Structure 1
Amino acid sequence: MPFFILLSLLPSLALAAIDRHAVVSRFNVVRSALPEAITNRTTPLQVGNGDFAFNVDNTGMQTFIPFNTLSSWGWHNDSLPTNGEKLSDYHGVEVLTHGRNISYDLEDPDLPEVSKWLTANPNRINLGRIGLKYKGESLPQSLITEPRQELDVWNGIITSTFKVDGKDVRVVTQGDFETDAVAFQIDSELVSTGDLQVGLDFPYPPKHNVTASSDFEIFMGSYDFPLNHTTSIVTTPNGPRSGVAHIYHEMQETTYYVNLRWPCRSPLSLTRNEPQGSSAVTAHRYTLSLGAPSRYEHSPSSISFTAHFSLDLELPASPSTIRRRNPTAWNQYWNKGGFVDLTESSNPNATELQRRIIMTQYYMRVNSAGTGQIPQESGLVYNGWWGKFHLEMVVWHCAHWATWGRQQYFDRIFPSMYEKLMPTSKARTQRMGWEGARWPKMTELGTGGIAPGETRAYLMWQQPHPMYLANLAYQAKPTRQTLEEWDRVITATADYMASFAWYNETAGHYDLGPPSKGVTENSFPLETRNLAYEIAYWRWGLDAAADWKRKLGQPVPKKWSTVAENLAPPPQIDGMYIPWEGSGLNSSWWEDPKLSKDPRSVIMLQGILPDTPAVDPEVGLKTSDKMWEVWTDENIRGWGRSVLAINSARVGKPERAIYHMTNYGYWPFDDAGMPTRSGPNPSPPPYFPGGGSFLYAIGYMAAGWEGSEGDAPGFPKDGTWVVKHEGLLKAL
């Protein structure tokens, strides 16, 4: 085959700079119909900054759909149990572990209400609802006609136009990267007549009964308990200021402000709908409207204001300031860091894949760029798992920041998140009789507390994540400062991992578990040991920690090396990896639907895990081939497709990688571009571990990984893919 023909079959990399604005702008979200029904799968459009998001319906506000206003800092505790159970009595549940009783964070049958309370508290709160009012009442969907809404992805602007009683209304909604604020511009002749106003309302969190493992709360808060909380209009100690107002909201120990600001040349009036202490469901409603008509020579036809949510009483930025700086910030986001352009590809799947690449980057910036913490799995859209984040998902949420050249967002979270969790994690480990820091599965930063439950008590694969993340940070910034910033976290992590391993004198190696719970969460914790992915990850993590110490010129603790070099190998049967040892597992597990419906652990050995002596590449390839036959599409969950794509690329099967990334029927991203959690028992959209892992997989396929050769090694060489990319780093 001539050389030029061979080159034509390769996924191409253009030398010219990508016109990012042209690519991004092709995928603006347009909604031109009202929802026929409002269900838990109805998704909003969003503006926000990673710590704060305002979720909107077709009006650009929260007018007829009670979407949420969420933050990384707004939390609340339910009332404590009233049946006599005390929090101080909870100490976990003892489980015999290699000859000694160890207290695990399990549900205590003697303290059922306390166990539930610890699981659901604290819980994230809906900060408030802002929507349009018409003739004194909330504007109903039935009066809205000719809707058209567009999210300008390049500039981060939502423009919503529609008619109310035949009159045009235009609402422009923008977030703010610098503060937890949203700015609105509302234009309509209905404003000048006084018929169109703005309403604000404040719900109270419902009691969380923990009737399921997740309790998805889509439309958060209740308006049925007005006497449980208070709101009031307040002023600063210096007195009122023109063009500024503040609403104070108090829910027991939780307090915050909504700081409002509008142009002085177009003064607004903030009024409370009900008297203080009202028991009506409307008790915490406020109206923002034009001032008295006599104040104007010509009554204005617009309302412009900022709503800034904060723990503090502050002077918010003016709406004009946010309108100016918000697009600039979004333009900088798109122009910096990595980018993938597939628009010259002839493959029929390329356009939808490009849409997902663009929209996922938008939503990751809004939901996954928090200060010091990762998001909950549903981000800043609604509460799943009571608003808490899952620490095992941290790589899926955040690894893409590093490999896509956006290290500043990675550094906003790490290693400070682990430092914040260090005291409680060390205390947990000490109580259990080990060393170092045992990281929890599900928690939040305020308390660093626990959520009792079998999976949450025994899950293991979050433990080596600090080594993985630290190596991503070092790849991006290979400096001594990076080494020193992560050293305390890595040391505490490796100390725990080495002490947790148990020396099996009969087998002559170190085992992990029992008890142990694997990545697929379908193992039998008291019967299984040496989970395939976990024990290989343990080996890689301890080796990485030792290498970290060597880079710092520090001695490597002997225990780390001893355990790493003598860990049991990942179990295998018939030349293929199996999920674990024990519980009677044998070669027939591939035919057992209870196990084969989610066997991702055996492909994660060459899926996200970097090369390690623990993994035999030939065994890994044979396992991957078997997986291709067995793991059927209807059983693959959201991030399962990402890890399958990564595995396929690593074992030299790019056609499989692109199959998993473009199997749109089984892995839908909705019209707004929000990822779903496909597979059995899907949760309501969005599902951001799917979004973050999707970006990580695309970067993997385009830029490669440590040891990969050639460009775009994860894309098929069939001539239909033109892969331009810039600013990406190789994965580990």
Structure 2
Amino acid sequence: MFFTTILLLASPALSRIHRQSIISKYNVVRTDLITNETTPLQVGNGNFAFNVDNTGMQTFLPFNTLSSWGWHNDSLPTNGERIQDYTGIPKLTHGRNVSYDIPDPSLPEASQWLTANPNRINLARIGLVYKGEYVSAEQISESRQELDLWNGTITSRFVIAGEPVEVVTQGDLESDSVVVWVKSELLRVGELGVQIDLPFPVVHSTEFKFEVFVGSYGVSGDHGSFLVGVGDTAGIHHLMGGTEYWVNLRWETASPITVGRVDDATHRYVLVPGENATEMAFTASFSPDRRDADSPATVQRRSRAAWNQYWGEGGFVDVTGSSDPAAGELQRRIILSQYHVRVNSAAGGQSPQESGLMNNGWYGKFHMEMVVWHNAHWVTWGRAEIFNDIFPGVYEALLPSSLERARLMGWDGARWPKMTDVVSGINSPGGINGLLLWQQPHPMYLASLAYLASPTRETLERWDRVLTATADYMASYAWGNESSGYYDLGPPTYGVTENTPPDETLNLAYEIAYWRYGLDVAREWKTKLNQPIPAQWTTVAENLAPPPQVDGLYTVYEGLNSSWWNDTSLTKDPRSLIMLQGVLPDTPAVDPEIALKTAEKVWDVWTDDKIRGWGRPVLAINAARVGRPDKAVYHLTAFDYWKFDDAGFAERGGDGGTPPPFMPGNAGLLYAVAYMAAGWNGSTGDAPGFPVEDGWVVKHEGLLKAP
């Protein structure tokens, strides 16, 4: 076997919690064969993930190998429509026509192409073949699979044709690689091997908005591949129009492997060990170019050491000493979420899609309004190095297109997209995509987190350009209403919950408050840098319309009356009002007493059966903030409603329509737990979000207070 065990705990003297024993308690063990409706286990590094069935590979279920850099454009429309003719849909906005990124009914195929492209590609399927064919579920018996969290290793044992098979699968935190080690007598007799199959992307109509299995196999004419090999290495070059990449293979010199193409008409390659060998191990390293992969033994050692270091550093929360019977399941979710965000959500310079690197939701693109929920936890869990790999890089990549978008719409600064990718920077056309508003102040919240972790001039300078462009847009977008004397936001616009009539939606409560917070942060940033504050930032910030109220409570947007509490289209998801106190730091725009009364009303009408997505974390944060730790814990432990599967992946629930997992659920849980354990700006005492009088014992270390 080509690996040894390395146990590394960074700075053990500083840790008062025995982390390894707690983490290992929650290893994932599967003994039943999974189906296409089950989330696979994964290895990976945030830029790359390899998803596996019970064989430790992609054998009887064609799960995906996804990356942050692997993208493809479908062929252009064939009905004569030209992409460059799309200019959006004009909407009357305070006396002038403004073009928004909404599908154009006169250019349906061009609009769909812009929505769906580029799309994330499946780099390869790697699976076991028995007598030349993929092993089927029916051929497997006595299956047992375990994800060893501390070491980042998946060990799969099962029986094929009466013979035991063992597969050990590992990723690499330093490269986009997977190492697979296989042991079986079936290798020696030549009946078992490994196949690499290169899929071709489907054409992404609305039918393929979500893909559990990404790409199509057996397509020969639309792409090409060829094999090169020298000594203990080989490379498969895959070309698909303007997209190309390499599968770089390596094995140990003393344990040779032969790689060959199955036939000329397909893009399938088979790996078989040397004569009489009962073991084979190889590294498959994926990259846009040809490079030498590291040996299996090197990657295995490095991977274990890196995972041990990940678990040993950063923050940790231990609730296992609590008497509340929900503590064990909450601890499981905390531990497994930490593994899953590292594998799915740590890409350099970009945020993950909602389903991470498991499958494709929304064509593989990420949503800018969700970047806080995906990534804020990195800072409060003491992992600012990962946060800083993502930010402000993602905004810097999107800045040129966002400046141009604002210019074409007649505003200053940068208008950030809603659903996008860093390759094109396009705001994918959509009825909601073109009108959503609350992603605009996110850079201020994220910059505040960065400064919380590192309050230095370097941090201030690193974020200054992004914050300046953001604040310029926010001040320019707000419309001076001569009748009221206030600055208004919208219409047309959509708010957090995307359930209001956009052409009538004026001065959304959360967006107004968030706008004030964002402009205040931008002004404070300039002060810290000893730079002048643009006068328009101050004029708009201090003269924004107040968040609307009805009968002494905040309401979703201006113009509603008290009957809105009976409007189920609005009360089925009133989370934006909960967010006024909790997720949003203190701001002059929000009266804490009114926000508390509003939250109490929302608690009554937003019942368990209606809450989905990241609703539970936001409710928990709000409850902790207003001094109700009992309700905070309730929302994190409402297990009958908030589902995490056996592998610890959060499910979205409700009518979201996306295949699991729902990564903002895992990341949101982590942010809420850190908020409740370490506290927030202005909180006092230890673990202020947990009701210690109800038997909760919370040990934590390495966490930072939230803003």
Same fold (TM over 0.5): yes
Report how far residue 241 of structure 1 moved. Answer: 2.2
Question: What does 1:450-469 align with in structure 2 at a 5 Å threshold?
Answer: 450-469=427-446
Separation in structure 2 between the aligned mates of residue 222 and residue 356 of structure 1, nearest angstrom: 34
For the pair 1:727 / 2:702, whether they are aligned, the reply is yes
Determine the structure 1 residue equivalent to 2:224. 230
One-letter amino acid of the counterpart of residue 232, structure 1: F
Q: Is the 8 A contact 2:139 2:161 kept in 1?
A: yes
Equivalent in 150, 167, 174 of residue 154 of structure 1? 150
> Which consecutive segments of 4 or more residues in structure 1 shift more than 4 A?
none
Q: Is the 8 A contact 1:198 1:289 kept in 2?
A: yes
Determine the structure 2 residue equivalent to 1:616. 591
1:42-85 deviation per Cα after TM superposition (whole angstroms, max 9, x unaligned): 11000000000000000000000110000000000011011111
Determine the structure 2 residue equivalent to 1:479. 456
1:203-230 deviation per Cα after TM superposition (whole angstroms, max 9, x unaligned): 111111125xx82110111114221111
For the pair 1:99 / 2:95, whether they are aligned, the reply is yes
Equivalent in 249, 253, 262 of residue 260 of structure 1? 249
For the pair 1:177 / 2:173, whether they are aligned, the reply is yes
Equivalent in 336, 344, 361 of residue 367 of structure 1? 344
For the pair 1:72 / 2:68, whether they are aligned, the reply is yes
Q: The residue matched to 1:233 in structure 2 has which SS?
A: strand
Equivalent in 33, 38, 49 of residue 42 of structure 1? 38
Separation in structure 2 between the aligned mates of residue 228 and residue 34 of structure 1, nearest angstrom: 34
Determine the structure 2 residue equivalent to 1:506. 483
Runs of 5+ consecutive residues of structure 2 not aligned to the other structure: 1-13
Separation in structure 1 between the aligned mates of residue 556 and residue 537 of structure 2, nearest angstrom: 24
Question: What does 1:336-351 align with in structure 2 at a 5 Å threshold?
Answer: 336-351=313-328
Determine the structure 2 residue equivalent to 1:9. none
Separation in structure 2 between the aligned mates of residue 607 and residue 230 of structure 1, nearest angstrom: 53
Q: Is the 8 A contact 2:56 2:156 kept in 1?
A: yes
Equivalent in 564, 569, 573 of residue 589 of structure 1? 564
Separation in structure 2 between the aligned mates of residue 491 and residue 676 of structure 1, nearest angstrom: 37
Report how far residue 638 of structure 1 moved. Answer: 2.1
Report how far residue 563 of structure 1 moved. Answer: 0.3
One-letter amino acid of the counterpart of residue 461, structure 1: W
Determine the structure 2 residue equivalent to 1:8. none
Separation in structure 1 between the aligned mates of residue 653 and residue 324 of structure 2, nearest angstrom: 24
Question: What does 1:487-636 align with in structure 2 at a 5 Å threshold?
Answer: 487-582=464-559, 585-636=560-611
Determine the structure 2 residue equivalent to 1:119. 115
Q: Is the 8 A contact 1:513 1:528 kept in 2?
A: yes
Separation in structure 2 between the aligned mates of residue 681 and residue 312 of structure 1, nearest angstrom: 37
One-letter amino acid of the counterpart of residue 680, structure 1: D
One-letter amino acid of the counterpart of residue 488, structure 1: R
Q: Is the 8 A contact 2:490 2:505 kept in 1?
A: yes
Q: The residue matched to 2:470 in structure 1 has which SS?
A: helix
Q: The residue matched to 2:660 in structure 1 has which SS?
A: coil
For the pair 1:219 / 2:202, whether they are aligned, the reply is no
Equivalent in 648, 666, 670 of residue 623 of structure 2? 648
In percent, how many aligned pairs have the same letter?
63
Q: The residue matched to 2:321 in structure 1 has which SS?
A: coil
Report how far residue 682 of structure 1 moved. Answer: 5.0
Separation in structure 2 between the aligned mates of residue 152 and residue 226 of structure 1, nearest angstrom: 39
What's the TM-score once normalised by structure 1's chain length?
0.94
Question: What does 1:134-153 align with in structure 2 at a 5 Å threshold?
Answer: 134-153=130-149
One-letter amino acid of the counterpart of residue 520, structure 2: D
Separation in structure 2 between the aligned mates of residue 136 and residue 543 of structure 1, nearest angstrom: 65
Q: The residue matched to 1:53 in structure 2 has which SS?
A: strand
Separation in structure 2 between the aligned mates of residue 727 and residue 343 of structure 1, nearest angstrom: 18
Q: The residue matched to 1:314 in structure 2 has which SS?
A: coil
Q: How many residues align?
A: 694
Q: Is the 8 A contact 1:150 1:159 kept in 2?
A: yes
Separation in structure 1 between the aligned mates of residue 659 and residue 131 of structure 2, nearest angstrom: 35
Which shifted more, 599-608 or 64-73? 599-608
Q: The residue matched to 1:372 in structure 2 has which SS?
A: coil
1:495-535 deviation per Cα after TM superposition (whole angstroms, max 9, x unaligned): 00000000111111000001111000011111111001011
Separation in structure 1 between the aligned mates of residue 553 and residue 667 of structure 2, nearest angstrom: 29
Separation in structure 1 between the aligned mates of residue 688 and residue 172 of structure 2, nearest angstrom: 38
Determine the structure 2 residue equivalent to 1:5. none
Separation in structure 2 between the aligned mates of residue 715 and residue 587 of structure 1, nearest angstrom: 34
Q: Is the 8 A contact 2:218 2:267 kept in 1?
A: no
Report how far residue 684 of structure 1 moved. Answer: 2.1
Q: Is the 8 A contact 1:634 1:680 kept in 2?
A: no
Equivalent in 276, 292, 295 of residue 318 of structure 1? 295
Distance 1:354 1:499, change over 3 A: same
1:562-583 deviation per Cα after TM superposition (whole angstroms, max 9, x unaligned): 100000111111111110013x
Determine the structure 1 residue equivalent to 2:23. 24
Q: Is the 8 A contact 2:224 2:239 kept in 1?
A: yes
Report how far residue 306 of structure 1 moved. Answer: 0.4
Equivalent in 106, 110, 118 of residue 110 of structure 1? 106
Equivalent in 266, 272, 282 of residue 305 of structure 1? 282
For the pair 1:400 / 2:377, whether they are aligned, the reply is yes
Separation in structure 1 between the aligned mates of residue 480 and residue 452 of structure 2, nearest angstrom: 34
Q: The residue matched to 2:353 in structure 1 has which SS?
A: coil
Q: Is the 8 A contact 1:666 1:679 kept in 2?
A: no
Q: The residue matched to 1:183 in structure 2 has which SS?
A: strand
Q: Is the 8 A contact 1:546 1:560 kept in 2?
A: yes
Separation in structure 2 between the aligned mates of residue 359 and residue 650 of structure 1, nearest angstrom: 26
Separation in structure 2 between the aligned mates of residue 717 and residue 729 of structure 1, nearest angstrom: 20
Q: Is the 8 A contact 2:361 2:659 kept in 1?
A: no
Q: Is the 8 A contact 1:189 1:301 kept in 2?
A: yes
Determine the structure 2 residue equivalent to 1:209. 205
Determine the structure 2 residue equivalent to 1:665. 640
Q: The residue matched to 1:109 in structure 2 has which SS?
A: coil
One-letter amino acid of the counterpart of residue 544, structure 1: V
One-letter amino acid of the counterpart of residue 22, structure 1: S
Q: The residue matched to 1:357 in structure 2 has which SS?
A: helix
Q: Is the 8 A contact 1:81 1:113 kept in 2?
A: yes
For the pair 1:247 / 2:236, whether they are aligned, the reply is yes
Q: Is the 8 A contact 2:258 2:271 kept in 1?
A: yes
One-letter amino acid of the counterpart of residue 226, structure 1: S
Separation in structure 1 between the aligned mates of residue 660 and residue 303 of structure 2, nearest angstrom: 26
Runs of 5+ consecutive residues of structure 1 not aligned to the other structure: 1-14, 235-239, 294-298
1:251-305 deviation per Cα after TM superposition (whole angstroms, max 9, x unaligned): 0000000000011111111111112xx2xxxx111110023x3xxxxx2210110
Q: The residue matched to 2:209 in structure 1 has which SS?
A: coil
For the pair 1:676 / 2:651, whether they are aligned, the reply is yes
1:336-392 deviation per Cα after TM superposition (whole angstroms, max 9, x unaligned): 111000111111000000000000000000011001000100000000000000000
Q: Is the 8 A contact 1:158 1:172 kept in 2?
A: yes
Separation in structure 2 between the aligned mates of residue 169 and residue 717 of structure 1, nearest angstrom: 49
Q: The residue matched to 1:455 in structure 2 has which SS?
A: coil
Determine the structure 2 residue equivalent to 1:639. 614
Report how far residue 610 of structure 1 moved. Answer: 0.2
For the pair 1:689 / 2:672, whether they are aligned, the reply is no
Q: The residue matched to 2:378 in structure 1 has which SS?
A: helix
Report how far residue 455 of structure 1 moved. Answer: 0.7
1:164-222 deviation per Cα after TM superposition (whole angstroms, max 9, x unaligned): 111110000000011100001101111111111001101111111125xx821101111
Equivalent in 410, 414, 418 of residue 441 of structure 1? 418
Root-mean-square deviation (CA, aligned residues, Å) is 1.1
Separation in structure 2 between the aligned mates of residue 181 and residue 333 of structure 1, nearest angstrom: 18
Determine the structure 2 residue equivalent to 1:378. 355
Q: The residue matched to 1:410 in structure 2 has which SS?
A: helix
